[in-house]
Amino acid sequence: MKDYQRIGLERIKILMQMCRKYPDKAKRYTYLAKKLSMKTGLPIPREYKRWICKNCGEYLIPGKNCTVRLKNKLRIVTCKACGKIKRFNYANK
Ligand SMILES: [Zn+2]
């Protein structure tokens, strides 16, 4: 991993933590994180990426701006801001 990539990843992580602290500015932070990941060519870490709405870029916090339902080994996350539904399998981690 190159120097600029390590710094980029660090910044992405910080941005994601900021999303949790300041949910009203989360859209801005996820936008910056996406741009960073494009610039550095690194993916946003999985544990954060699954909480970003692909449609509107909102950072999803269960019970606040998204609903989480478990069904047939799928985790279904609905974004309350735009209504987009995300599904993922939690059976194999
Ligand atoms: Zn959304």
Alpha carbon distances (Å) from 13 to 56, 72, 85: 20, 31, 24
Q: What is the pLDDT of residue 93?
A: 54
Cα 29 to ligand 1 centroid, rounded to whole Å: 14
Cα 85 to ligand 1 centroid, rounded to whole Å: 8
Cα 3 to ligand 1 centroid, rounded to whole Å: 33
Does pLDDT of 90 surpass 80? no
pTM: 0.85
Strand ranges in the chain using DSSP code E only, listed in sequence order? 66-71, 74-79, 85-89
Q: What is the pLDDT of residue 33?
A: 96
Cα 67 to ligand 1 centroid, rounded to whole Å: 11
Q: Which long-range contacts (CB under 8 A, 24 or more apart) does 14-18 make?
A: 16/44, 16/45, 16/48, 16/59
DSSP 59-73: BP-BTTTEEEEEETT
Kindly list the domain boundaries of the chain, sorted by start residue: 3-89
